[in-house]
Amino acid sequence: MKTKYLCPHCKSTISIQEDIILTAKNSRNEKGIVLLHTDIGNYTSKKSPGFEVDYNEEIEFFCPICSKNLEYKFKLGLVCLLLIDEDNKESKVIFSKVYQQKCTYRIIDKEIYSYGECAKKFSNPEWFL
């Protein structure tokens, strides 16, 4: 089984092959589709034509199935998804809502793994747990 990403609300699969599929809204209330790479630490992304996002702009992300906001309930400015890995083990993947801010965390049980050059922005990882 390959890895798959799920919405933490409706538990629907929101990834296909190497892309996580999300709907998004920029600070000007414009909406679009954003594709994020499934490999943690790979910050490649694609946006739907006409959906403009400025560097360092905060984006609201939503599940494309249930439309619920994916903001992490314990910390503003972050998004939370569920990841099912090749061994069928579930973990949380948390990343920044700021466009081009390379900041991602993976929480497996009580272990926290950080990725990206901005991951130290949230220096106290205990709030993830």
- Name every residue whose Cβ is closer than 8 Å to that of residue 87 and which is 6 or more positions away in sequence: none
Range with lowest mean pLDDT among 89-93, 101-105, 121-125: 121-125
Pairing outcome for strands 15-16 and 19-25: antiparallel
Residue 83 confidence (pLDDT) = 98
Residue 117 confidence (pLDDT) = 79
pTM of the model: 0.88
Digit-coded pLDDT (tens) for 11-58: 999 999 999 999 999 999 999 999 999 999 999 999 999 999 998 899
Residue 92 pLDDT > 90, yes or no?
yes
CA 115, CA 95: separation in Å to the nearest integer?
9
Residue extents of the structural domains in the chain? 4-128
* Mean per-residue pLDDT over the chain, rounded: 90
Residue 123 confidence (pLDDT) = 54
Residue 59 confidence (pLDDT) = 96
